[in-house]
Structure 1
Amino acid sequence: MKRQIHKRLPKDFVEDVLRTFSEEKISREQASEFLGLSRSELYWWREKYLASAKKKKDFKLYNREAKPTRFFPKEVQDFLHEELYYITRCEGRFKNKFNFSFLAEQAEKKFD
């Protein structure tokens, strides 16, 4: 299985190839070879590139969500930060020996 395009190629290179392909300066075969994509993948990426150009948005190879999918309330975050700080810096015998299941149990007892 080949790696994802954003891990294989720089964004500027992909954008240049898609632009020149859309302007019909290079053939479909050349663009597919440059990007290592099948015909259907190439046309999918071309459509995505043209849509971003039409909306005058920045072309992205990888869409990371703007907000994280997991969220902890502020008091839980503070508790976890305190505990991890203590484990990593203060307590000598537990230093860098994480027991996340125990920490999860303690957080559940405290906040449920």
Structure 2
Amino acid sequence: MILTELWPIHRETSWMGTPLLRAAFSGKKLNVRTNDNPTDLVAADIKDVRVTLWFHEGASLGGSDITWELKGDTLDLDASCSGLADCDIKFRVQVPRDTTVLRNGNPTDLKG
């Protein structure tokens, strides 16, 4: 039996710069939980929180799982690939300039 009959091969998928979230945020402090995913944190002249995803998955015998949630003062970002997968993932989070940002509960510097 051929392996691909048991597990379908997912062909190449790309979400390049896909906006995921644009949410009103009135707090002064935001904790961004990155779950070990590369994440750029950027101060911008905006009044909301914006999340953008760069994602590329090559042909694989597996899948991907991408989640994001803004709950209170915590933004939780998670992305992973499973099985025999080749994927690259990166998030970009833009926040208002006057927002203090924590990365996984620790103070961090912002770009921008």
Instruction: State TM-score, norm by structure 1.
Output: 0.20
Considering Cα pairs closer than 8 Å and 6+ residues apart, tell me whether 1 or 2 has the greater RCO: 2
Greater helix proportion: 1
